[in-house]
């Protein structure tokens, strides 16, 4: 699998600085959605680099350290649970990705965005960009961004939120709607980090 195909095609057309962008945590019931933007040195080799969802936690952690040490530039950004409730998850994803792009120390000529969406009803990717469906399996830059976003979010939920709200066992389920998480919701109700707009079915079941 050649993960540099998407970048190489753009370099060949004269585009110089390419950034990969991806997000993590769109589906959980709690916590922020995270996004990362990454500019990698051309064709740098990270053995095992792949879509973050196809890697073990240990491999993601190892790649996170190597990517952050060797990237030409990177930025990780987030949109809080309260912001998600205020707008909706699609707008939150777009806002998180644009925040990550805006936070880069370099301005990319082109951003490769994972997926087929570049705007919601209120927020959009405003930087020059191209959507790449399945991009985390086709672009090294997007794959790197997927790892930075996933690891950053997992660390925040497992350490920060788990220590602040230990009764919910966030370190075990990362905020996703697992059986354990629903059991903790039944026992304690939502905390300020829960996305209330994601709890409609749970609330309806309790009535």
Homologous superfamily assigned to 5-206: Ribonuclease H-like superfamily/Ribonuclease H (3.30.420.10)
Sheet of strand 33-39, all strands in order from the earlier edge strand to the far edge = 73-79, 33-39, 18-24, 110-114, 129-132
Q: Please report how many Cα atoms fall inside a 13 Å half-sphere around the Cα of residue 152, on the Cβ side.
A: 24
Question: Would the pLDDT of 207 be above 80?
Answer: no
Q: pLDDT at position 170, please?
A: 98
* pLDDT band of 1, cuts 50, 70, 90: low
Average pLDDT over residues 28-54: 94
CB 48 within 8 A of CB 19: no
CA 63 – CA 150 distance, rounded (Å): 11
- Are 11 and 46 in contact by the 8 Å Cβ rule? The answer is no
Distance CA 88, CA 156 (A): 21
The pLDDT tens digits for 75-130 are: 999 999 999 999 999 999 999 999 999 999 999 999 999 999 999 999 999 999 99
Q: What are phi and psi of 112, to 5 degrees?
A: -95, 115
Sign, Cα dihedral of 154, 159, 163, 166: positive
SS3 17: coil
What are the tens digits of pLDDT across the range 177-197?
Answer: 999 999 999 999 999 999 999
Across the chain, mean pLDDT equals: 96
Phi, psi of 73 (to 5 degrees): -165, 150
């Amino acid at each position: 699998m050649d993960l540099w195909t998407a970048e190489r095609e753009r370099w060949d057309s004269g585009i110089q600085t390419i950034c990969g962008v991806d997000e993590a945590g769109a589906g959980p019931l709690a916590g922020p959605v995270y996004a990362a933007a990454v500019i990698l040195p051309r064709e740098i080799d990270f053995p095992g680099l792949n879509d973050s969802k196809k890697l073990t936690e240990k491999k993601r952690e190892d790649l996170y350290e190597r990517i952050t040490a060797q990237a030409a530039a990177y930025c990780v950004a987030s949109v809080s649970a309260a912001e998600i409730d205020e707008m909706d998850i699609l707008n939150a994803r777009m806002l998180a990705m644009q925040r990550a792009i805006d936070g880069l120390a370099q301005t990319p000529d082109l951003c490769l965005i994972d997926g087929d969406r570049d705007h919601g009803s209120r927020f959009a990717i405003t930087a020059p960009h191209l959507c790449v469906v399945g991009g985390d399996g086709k672009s090294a830059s997007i794959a790197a961004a997927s790892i930075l976003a996933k690891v950053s979010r997992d660390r925040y939920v497992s350490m920060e939120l788990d220590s602040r709200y230990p009764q919910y066992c966030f370190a075990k389920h990362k905020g996703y709607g697992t059986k354990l998480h629903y059991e903790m919701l039944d026992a304690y109700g939502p905390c300020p980090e829960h996305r209330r707009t994601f709890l409609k079915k749970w609330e309806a079941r309790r009535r």
